[in-house]
Chains A and B, each alone.
Chain A
Amino acid sequence: MRNLLKLVFILLASTLVHAHVGSADVYYEGDAGPYHLFVTIRLPQVIPGVAEIQIRCASPDVQTIQVSSLRLSGLGSNLPPVPDVAQRSKDDPQFFVSNLWFMEFGALQVRVQADGPKGTATLSVPVASFARRSLPMDRWLIAVLGFFLVFLTLSVVLIAGVVVRESTVPPGEVPQLSNRRRSRIVMALALIMVALIVFRGRASWNVEAATYKRNVELLKPPQAETTLVDANRLVVRPASPLMVPLVGQNESVSAVKMDEVIPDHGHVMHLFLIRLPGMEKMWHLHPDLIAGGAFSEKLPAMPAGHYQVFADIVDKSGFPWTLVGNVDLPEIKGSSTIGDDSAWDGVRLTPPLSESKVAQLPDGARVVWERGGDSLKANVPASFKFRVEEKDGSPARGLEPYMGMAAHAQVVSFDLGVFAHIHPAGSISMAALDMAQERLMPQSSSGAHETMMMDSMPSTGSLPPKFSFPYGFPHPGDYRIFVQIKRSGQVQTAVFDVRVQ
């Protein structure tokens, strides 16, 4: 009955891991018609909150930028609110900044409209909107409200007492004993009433705060549960149902149905297994959806070990989720990876960090990270440029689209607190981007959508040997970056280690 034996490993997500695995800000590079834009969206810590939208134009001809936010899909995704006009930097006329209110949790989009001598054009950037914490109350506000609470409580009791004692007393007369007695009773009643109101208000406040806190927790990276079946088939599912808060119905939530997840690059799940603690092996696999809301993948050959799991899916609203966990696997006697699946076997992380700018590919070519000698800074948006060279240093030939893109990259911090799956278009989910562009198509000026599709979905033939990833490291630390390309039918991975200040 060996084939009936199941090895079940319930994965425990690290409590240090943050929502969407530590990289909430959105980086996007694309074209609004004739204008090439680099868009950075700094997500607020608290929703509702003000997001900072930074836009860098590649050319100086953009005169004005307007931004607005709306839902990515469903009701409310067609009519944008009145856009905000971004402020143009006086020092750098190609740089625009706007503050934009994000009111809701869930899959949103930011519409960017650029105006210039070449006309008006629009692009749309999907955003996963979620809060990372509840809004605390400032000390000064606590002091002010505390003062008012005490003042209003004491004064209402005093006023009620005096009014009952004296208000009906004719001029020149003194309050009767009965008035005084009633006054004391009313003061006591007023105090009780105030206490009840404050108590009731506090209870209502607690419910609201608890609901908000729950919503924050709901949208954190969910735990993954993995099961090894038949010795070589890994089944991945959320450890508990993914729930999203229903907007406008404060206490209500709805479950994300796994059979409604939408394909991203043609796959319903992108599963990354990274061997720990050295990160010297990495697999990028694509499980299929199976019955029961789970995803199943027949594993390639893998050595026994402890693995970090990151599993990307996109729900039907366009909201990206990353299931997080880790798993101990026995040796897997499988075949080598095929199709879009890929594997990498390289150097184990050993302190001190050795930064690398050139990475060797299995076929002898190499990938060069074109960056200067300056150290990288956290939270600084940048277009990280790479080129692929043949052994002799000439530009590489034969690069093919890998799942429709020129390249993919996974950014993983050494402490596993950050995981981001990025592309030449940016840190957004490409499935969500497609949804945003579809919404935009009837409204955009000619060219915007077509340009986007060319960037994100190259057709066939050899691709240029250069590509870039718009991104910003979320905080200082050491990172390993897996850059994946496809060449001569083979997915190949180049790995770079970097320290971010």
Chain B
Amino acid sequence: MSQTTVPAALPVQSRPLVLTEAASIPRALWLTVTGITLALVGGTWDFAWHMSIGRDTMWVPPHVTVQLGGILIGIAAAYAILAITLSGSSAQRDTSIRLLGLYAPGGAFIAFWGSVAMFASEPFDNWWHNAYGLDVKMITPPHGLLFLGSLAAKVGAMAWIASAMNHSADPLLNRLRWLFLVVGGLGVAQFAKLIVVATFTENMHTAACYLAVAVFIPSVLLATGWGALHKWGCTIPAAIYTAISLGAEWLLPLFPAQPKLGPVYHNVTHLVPMGFPLLLIIPAFVADLLLQKLEQRSFWFKSICVGPAFLLSFLAVQWPFANFLMSPASRNWVFGTAYFAYGDPAGFSYDPYKFAGAEKPALFVVVMTIAFVASIVTTRFGLAWGNWMRRIRR
């Protein structure tokens, strides 16, 4: 895939960039991204675990995987902080921020904070489930803390990679850029999980589904796309998200699993995946095309064009695709619409192949209007975030 030569929207530099001394990606960065990947794998596995097995403690394998990921992030960030603080070269210190006498790229500090938050969420989550039950609500304070920690780890990793990118030249720059895009893709996957309830297939003909996408997806996608300085900076993370989701959709059912908690409505015999991914790759592609066309325009102009175009193109593909997902043709291993969690009363107390009642027309229009406005705001936020990452030097 060819790379763009789009110039970064950088302020005029007062001095030439200092190229990084490293000829390869620092191990701490690799370790951080590995930790982020592990946490995402663990999170995906945890969803499947809840839907297939149910029994939940601090020590079930998915939780251990998530925490292992968090610990790896923490170790990597702490290593980078201590290494630069204790024995870093002056060049390394020059490309670091200073916090309470500690030196490291800002992203390392952010990632470390994220790992601590992830770690803190585990005993809290364990107590929460023991106190109030499993899966009563998805958004709970401990889940919120885990989400924030995981998000901070990705934000930190992207900032860390961006600072390295901004001191590097090819071929290292190219490798760093791909690492950056991968983390962006993991970020898209995390936000897609956050809105999983709103984007259940039965909700795909509601305006609320599109509002959820408009609020949570463009920021991370546009930040990655703009920050990566890559022609297909939005499409690639969306493709990574799609690949991760499809991998989970097709691989998880290969592993045997049975529910260990009641009530059991479905005779589950294998891990149940989350469902077919959203078709975000299409609006991401549209966003990339528009960003290329509107390169010289202001951020607000870009936002006003890209945000609604993103949402409109998503609507154009996801709405009809939802019809297909409701049809018998989708009830196979490829699309996975015949998988149900053991505790999902699908087919008993509701018809899983029937759309949830959409909002009344007036409300539908109002919510959809809000979604379009939100898409502009979140696109603008994503561009600002991406532009900050273009400018990071430390």
Question: Which residues of A approach B to under 8 Å, CB–CB?
Answer: 46-49, 68-71, 75-77, 79-82, 101, 103-104, 108, 134-135, 137, 141, 144-145, 148, 151-152, 155-156, 158-159, 162-163, 165-173, 197, 201-202, 204-205, 208-209, 212, 247-248, 250
Contacts and interface: CB of A to CB of B under 8 A. Distances in A.
Given A152-B120, A155-B113, A205-B141, 5 more contacts: A101-B55, A135-B131, A145-B120, A167-B106, A173-B14
Contact of B263 (A71, A152, A172, A204): A71
B345 A75 contact: yes
Contacts of A162: 97-99, 106, 109
Contacts of A48: 129-130, 133-134
Interface in B67-126: 91, 94-95, 97-100, 106, 109-110, 113, 116-117, 120, 123-124
Nearest to A247: B263
B203 interface: no
Given A135-B127, A168-B388, A159 B113 contact: yes
Contact of B109 (A104, A163, A248): A163
Contacts of B260: 81-82, 101
A212 B391 contact: no
A75 B348 contact: yes
A159 B160 CA distance: 14
A197 B151 CA distance: 15
Given A148-B116, A158-B99, A162-B106, A208 B262 contact: no
Contact of A170 (B13, B97, B132, B265): B13
The 7 closest A-B pairs by CB, nearest first: A76-B263, A171-B94, A148-B120, A135-B131, A79-B264, A163-B106, A201-B141
Given A167-B106, A173-B14, A76 B394 contact: no
Contacts of B133: 47-48, 103-104
Contacts of B18: 171-172
A144 B144 CA distance: 18
A256 to B, nearest CB: 19
Contacts of A201: 141, 144-145
Given A70-B262, A70-B264, A201-B144, A248 B13 contact: no
B54 interface: yes
A149 B123 CA distance: 13
A75 B263 contact: yes
24 contacts: A48-B129, A75-B348, A76-B263, A79-B267, A80-B264, A82-B260, A103-B261, A104-B133, A108-B262, A141-B127, A155-B113, A156-B113, A159-B99, A159-B109, A162-B106, A163-B109, A166-B106, A167-B394, A169-B393, A204-B139, A204-B141, A208-B140, A248-B136, A250-B136
Given A75-B349, A167-B393, A81 B258 contact: yes
A170 B106 contact: no
Nearest to B345: A75
Interface in B371-394: 388, 391-394
B163 A141 contact: no
B78 to A, nearest CB: 13
B13 to A, nearest CB: 6
B110 to A, nearest CB: 6
Contacts of A172: 15, 18, 94
B89 to A, nearest CB: 12
Contacts of A168: 388, 391-394
Given A48-B133, A152-B116, A167 B262 contact: no
Contact of B392 (A47, A135, A152, A167): A167
A152 B393 contact: no
Contacts of B124: 141, 145
A250 B261 contact: no
Contacts of A47: 133
Contacts of B388: 167-168
Contacts of B343: 76, 248
Contact of B131 (A70, A158, A163, A212): A212
B159 interface: yes
Given A48-B134, A148-B116, A163-B97, A81 B392 contact: no
Contacts of B348: 75
Contacts of A80: 262, 264
Contact of A145 (B94, B123, B130, B394): B123
The dominant DSSP class at the B interface is: loop
A76 B265 contact: yes
B367 to A, nearest CB: 22
A46 B130 contact: yes
Contacts of B293: none
B115 to A, nearest CB: 11
B137 interface: yes
B94 A166 contact: no
B262 to A, nearest CB: 4
A202 B139 CA distance: 13
Contacts of B392: 167-168
B101 to A, nearest CB: 12
Contacts of B15: 170, 172-173
B277 interface: no
B184 interface: no
Contacts of A156: 113
Contacts of B185: none
A184 to B, nearest CB: 15
B262 A166 contact: no
A49 B130 contact: yes
B120 A171 contact: no
B42 interface: no
Nearest to B263: A76
Contact of A144 (B94, B123, B131): B123
A48 B129 CA distance: 8
A201 B141 CA distance: 5
Interface string B11-27: 00111011000000000
A158 B98 CA distance: 11
B265 A79 contact: yes
Contacts of B13: 170
A81 B261 CA distance: 5
A309 B117 CA distance: 54
B283 interface: no
Contacts of A212: 131-132
A197 B142 CA distance: 12
B259 interface: yes
Contacts of B106: 159, 162-163, 166-167
A75 B266 CA distance: 10
Contacts of B134: 48, 103
B260 to A, nearest CB: 5
A445 to B, nearest CB: 21
Contacts of B394: 166-169, 171
Contacts of B94: 171-172
Contacts of B123: 141, 144-145
A204 B132 CA distance: 12
Nearest to B131: A135
A112 to B, nearest CB: 15
A137 B131 CA distance: 9
B319 to A, nearest CB: 29
Contacts of A250: 136-137
Contacts of A70: 262-264
Contacts of B17: 170
A171 B20 CA distance: 11
B317 to A, nearest CB: 32
Contact of A134 (B131, B148, B159): B131
Interface string B241-269: 00000000000000000111111111100
A81 B341 CA distance: 13
Interface string B284-317: 0000000000000000000000000000000000
